[in-house]
Amino acid sequence: MKSLMQRSLDEDEAIESRIVSRSVETAQKRVEGHNFDIRKHLIKYDDVMNKQRQVVYSLRKNTLGVGDIREIIDKDIEEVLEQMVLSTTHEKTPPNEWDWDSLSHDVERVFAFKIQKSTSTTQDDLFNELIDQVHAVLKQKETQAPQKEFFEMVEREIKLRTIDAQWKDHLHNMDQLKEAVGFEGYAQKDPLKEYQKRGFEMFSDMVYMIAELTLRRIFHVQIDVDQNPDEVFARRSQQAINMKHAQAQRLSEQSQGAPNMPGRTQIPNMRTPENITVRRDGDKVGRNDLCPCGSGKKYKKCHGR
C-alpha cells in the first residue's frame, strides 16, 4: 500500500486499486464510528439536563397556571419545615436534647417569626405545630394586602423570579461540572456516572433552595396598603415596557455607530456627537437573536434595521 502511494502518477490519472479502495473505506468507517461514539456519549450528558429541564419547566408551568398558587406555597412550607425538623431533632433523642436554638433561628430566618415554647414530644407533633403557626402568620400577612388577588400575584411573581434565577445559576454550575468530571477517568471512575450522581445532588439542592428562598421572600415582603392594586399593575407593566424599549433603543444606537448611516433606521431626536467613540455597555446582540424590546421578532427585523 505504501509503495503504491509513493508512485509518481499524473494528477488526472485515476487510482484503480482494490487495496486502496478497501483501505480508504476502512479508514472512513473508523472515523465515522469514532464520531458517532462521541455524539452518542454527548447525548447521554444531554439526557441528564433534559430530564432536569422537564422538571423545572413543569414547575414553572404550574406556577404560571390559573390554579391556586397557595397549593404550591403550602407544599414548599411542608418541604422546608420537614427539613428543619429532621435536621434539628431525632426520634430517639428526648425533646430536651433537641437543638431548639438552631430550629428557632431557621424558622425566624425563613418565616420571620419566633416559635413559641413547644411541648411536643415527637417529630410529628412538632411538625404539625409549626405548620399551624406558619399558616397563621401567612394568613395575617395576606390580610394586610388590599385584595387577595394582589397577594396571590406577589406570591406568583416571587416564585417565578426565584425559579428563573436559581435555574440560571444551576445551568452554569452544571457546565462547570461537565468539565470537571472529565478528570474522574484518572481515578478509574466513569465520568458519565459521576456527572449523573453529582448533577442529581446539585439539582435536588436547587429545588430545595427554590422553595426556601421563595418562602423567605414572601414572609419578609412589605406590602404598602395605601396603594391601589390596579395602579400598581399598570405602573409596573408600563415600567417594564419602557425599560425594554429604552434598552433596545440604546443597543440600536450603539450598533449604528454614527448618525445618518445608509440602510439604518434613525432614532428620532437622538444625535451622536462628533469625534466620540460609542461603546456598548453590555453584550452585542446578534442579528438573528430575539430583540431585547420583547416584541418576539428577530433583532434584524425590529430595532436592528
For every residue of 78-139, DSSP letters joined together read HHHHHHHHHHH--TTS-GGGS-HHHHHHHHHHHHSSPPPPP---SHHHHHHHHHHHHHHHHH
The residues with which 53 forms a beta bridge, in sequence order, are: none
Q: At what angle do helices 191-220 and 148-180 cross, to 10 degrees?
A: 160
DSSP state of 295: S
Question: Residue 188's Cα: distance from chain center in Å?
Answer: 32
- The structure's pTM equals 0.63
Give, for all 305 residues of the chain, the pLDDT tens digit.
555 555 555 566 566 667 666 766 777 767 666 565 555 566 777 788 888 999 999 999 989 876 678 899 999 999 999 999 999 998 888 888 999 999 999 999 999 998 877 788 899 999 999 999 999 999 998 888 888 888 888 899 999 999 999 999 999 999 898 888 877 776 777 888 888 889 999 999 999 999 999 999 999 988 766 656 566 656 666 666 766 667 677 766 665 554 444 444 444 444 444 455 556 666 677 777 777 776 667 777 777 77
Name the grid cell of 186. Answer: 484518572
| pLDDT at site 48 | 86
| pLDDT at site 288 | 76
Look up the CATH number of domain 46-221: 1.10.3060.10
| pLDDT at site 259 | 46
| pLDDT at site 44 | 78
| pLDDT at site 268 | 43
Domains of the chain, residue spans: 46-221
Give CA–CA dist 264/25, Å, rounded.
53
Give CA–CA dist 215/166, Å, rounded.
14
DSSP state of 273: P
Q: Are 69 and 151 in contact (CB under 8 A)?
A: no
Q: Are 179 and 45 in contact (CB under 8 A)?
A: no
| pLDDT at site 264 | 42
DSSP state of 262: T
Give CA–CA dist 56/133, Å, rounded.
30
The torsion region of residue 91 among left (phi > 0), alpha (psi -120 to 50) and beta comes to alpha
| pLDDT at site 132 | 93
Instruction: Single out the residue of 156, 163, 104, 157 nearest to residue 130, CA to CA.
Output: 104
| pLDDT at site 239 | 65
Those residues with Cβ within 8 angstroms of residue 23's Cβ, 6 or more apart along the chain or in another chain? 1
